[in-house]
Structure 1
Amino acid sequence: MILEETELRSSDKNVFTEGLRYYKLVGEALEDIDELYEFFDRDCYVIEWKYRVERIGIRKLDGTPGRDHETGRQRVAFFYWLGRNTTKKEQGLCALALRNRDKNRHVHIRIEQGSEPPLLVSLFSGKFIISTAENVNTSGRRLYLVRGSSQDLCLAEELIDQPIELREQAAYITLHNKSVQIWRGALCSKDILNGARRIADHMARLRSSKVDVVQMDLMQSYTCLKPYKWTRAPRIFRIYETEGDEVQSVHWNKKANFTFQQDDL
């Protein structure tokens, strides 16, 4: 992601977060919220990120390398996240409310649900949760797909489409009453599983400090879809009459279990 003519990656070691503030659109205005533990698909949120980029190559007076992130100026960026089930009017109101609040005209990045860049996900230290506003499952069970490329870049998104097809390269988290379970596919990587554990622990703390996190293998109880001879994340091209263009995904990573969703295609 390029902000203020600087390319930033979630893996950069010279980028330092100095502050995070959260807002939620209520009516036509943004209201401060203390913490943002969970995103709901019928809401709009704003994340104000204060950060500093360390200047590389700074040396002390004696010529030895110096390392002090104060050498870079403080910068500010706003991400505004739009839930899948928000209306066009609500999305416009969120953008307008942010513009009215940000008098200094910093960078504003529009993020639609399902297109969260790794840089944004990294600000939540692997505890990014997206839930549907209403539980449409009559059993009361909520099922989340865990996707990402590493423990710090995983997020969990609730699945609501029926029927749900489970996949061997995935990890899932289920919530039912006071039970939190991790379902592990046979081909799920260690990084994804560790990310699922972190999110499941976070969900447990949000609901009850005494909830146990239980892990089970999917193949013991459910039928799963197998990937077709894929050993890494696929690259997808859109073909025209005389040429083809690669379809870009903000999630693309060789270690990612899912890079494209059906809505992207």
Structure 2
Amino acid sequence: MLQPKETLIFDFGSEIYVWSGRDARKTNGNYAKEYAKKLAKNGFSCQEAMFGCEMRVERPNWTILRHLHQGIQDILFSSKFWDWQSSELKHMMRTPVVVDKYACLTPQRRDPEDQAGALASRLRASEHPAPSLNLENFDFERETKDVITEDIRFWRLKDEELEEIVRWQYRIQLSGIRRLNNGEEVERETGRERLAYFYWLGRETTPKQQGLCALKLSYMAHNMPHVRQEQGAELPVFLELFSGNLVIRQPEQKELFFVVRGSAKPECSLEQLAQIWPLRSHAVYLEAKEGQPALLHVGAHCQEVHVANGLRMAELLSMDGLCTEGKPASLLQGDDPRYEWVIAKGRTRAPRLFRLYDVDGHEVTSNQYHPSAVAAFPHAQTQLRDTILVDAGGALWVWSDGTPSTHCLDTATRYWHGREGRCTVVEKNNEPAEFKALFQEWNNWPEDAENTTPGKPTPPIGRLFIGTRLHKYLNDEDFGKEFGMSPKDFDALPAWKQNRMRQEAKLF
């Protein structure tokens, strides 16, 4: 009887219902409500008494008038039908079953240690996804085949006029085109002409400039795809448009200091450093001065691909007149006393970042990540938030902007189980130099951030968390310093003695 397109009125005397199906017209529902109000005023036609009230003339003042929609449960209305299919109605009509009164008060919860173990196993087994860009239902990955670039144009935003936009004109090659008579492959055919606009935003651009650039681009080509690219986080498909010759620098400067970025020749780029930080031992830097040959500063733990890219980019700078021609001089770490170097201890490959929540976590992806894991700086400092696991290959860092939870510490311990290297907790604003070296640049956190006293030494894992069972996160050496005994002797003590010692050590 109850159909999706119907609007029905049910008059049960003391209860009047207007029922509307999910596909019923709204106007029919409004008419039905007006008619139901008139029914409530005109009284009930039955001469029998209901609920002790005689309704020969008018209904009682407690008459119920409701408008119901299909899918919304109303127990009074549904109880009028003997065949109503509803779990609530069945529960109301069936005989109660005697159960333990405490059974429903104890929800089933997973063991926190099992949750941490499952999350750690999932993070260890995961692989970093390949950076890609989807344009018009086509995924552009690193060194995508069958894509022909036909034209590239550039614009630059100067004041409020759009004079740096990259216009990319390309075709997607259709492979497998053969002759019908002999099956020989003929000249490649291509699909339709396509356009895409990249708008690149420098690190020092203001929000006003960024918005103005996007606005001007929308006026220029509002029907074309627009791809936002930020300095330091460019996609491989964007870098490949420059064939490994992208140089990011300030104009009209005669002394330049660059860091060499990129894990492969087509993705290579030079980025000028606004401030010369302590140089990272796993990176390569290029110094250019007008009228002098270029200097290549080579870290002790850098990769060969970075050195090769640095030598090639030095030739490019000489062609642009930023330095004199000739083979650049290569200086190894420590050869030039003007610059300080720092070693990222435990870094054996490009680090991977995992962001942890209360009971879950995921990987912080990077457009600079390469399968060879040779990227010098795949992540930026700005990506640190909440609690982050930083897997540097030979060391695990647990960075947190506050007190890390026991779940995060358990996850970190299980994630690092069986691997060599130290697992260390890092508190925001108290990062050691070897941790800062994992990033290309490091700036002090804002003063209004919740930080502890600067200069506090970095404790081992677990020492920063104020909670229960924290002593289990200490290694044997730290445990002996805190309690003056081995973990085995500590476990043999009575419970009250253990609690008092943990309180004195602020590990309770």
TM bracket, shorter-chain basis: 0.7 to 0.9
Report if aligned partners of 1:150, 1:255 keep a CA contact under 8 Å in 2.
no
Say if 1:233 and 1:67 are closer, same or farther in 2 by CA, change over 3 A. farther
Q: Which residue of 2 aligns with 1:107?
A: 225
Q: Distance in 1 between matches of 2:382 and 2:259?
A: 16
Q: Distance in 2 between matches of 1:258 and 1:209?
A: 26
2:121 equivalent to 1:121: no
Amino acid at match of 2:167: E
Instruction: Give 1:210 shift.
Output: 4.6
SS in 2 for 1:12: coil
From 248, 253, 256, the equivalent of 2:365 is: 248
Q: Distance in 2 between matches of 1:26 and 1:182?
A: 33
Across the aligned residues of Structure 1 and Structure 2, the Cα RMSD in angstroms comes to 2.1
Say if 1:241 and 1:193 are closer, same or farther in 2 by CA, change over 3 A. same
What stretches of structure 1 of length at least 5 have no aligned partner? 32-44
Amino acid at match of 1:29: E
Instruction: Give 1:21 shift.
Output: 0.4
Instruction: Give 1:66 shift.
Output: 4.4
Q: Which residue of 2 aligns with 1:147?
A: 261
Instruction: Give 1:209 shift.
Output: 8.1
| 1:1-265 pair list within 5 angstroms | 1-31=133-163, 45-61=164-180, 62-66=182-186, 68=188, 70-102=189-221, 105-132=223-250, 141-161=255-275, 164-179=277-292, 180-207=294-321, 210-219=324-333, 220-222=335-337, 223-253=340-370, 254-265=373-384
Partner deviation per Cα, 1:169-200 (whole Å, 9 max, x = no partner)? 21111122322221122222222112112222
Provide runs of 4+ in structure 1 moved above 3 Å: 64-67, 132-135
Q: Distance in 2 between matches of 1:121 and 1:183?
A: 23
Count, aligned residues: 245
Partner deviation per Cα, 1:50-83 (whole Å, 9 max, x = no partner)? 0111123332323234451x32221110000111
Report if aligned partners of 2:246, 2:268 keep a CA contact under 8 Å in 1.
yes
Amino acid at match of 2:169: K
Amino acid at match of 1:227: A
Amino acid at match of 1:172: Y
SS in 2 for 1:231: strand
Q: Distance in 2 between matches of 1:85 and 1:167?
A: 23
More strand by share: 1
- Per the normalisation by structure 2, the TM-score is 0.46
- Percentage of pairs with the same residue: 36
Q: Distance in 2 between matches of 1:262 and 1:134?
A: 28
More helix by share: 2
Report if aligned partners of 2:291, 2:324 keep a CA contact under 8 Å in 1.
no
Q: Distance in 2 between matches of 1:72 and 1:187?
A: 46
SS in 2 for 1:201: helix
Instruction: Give 1:122 shift.
Output: 0.9
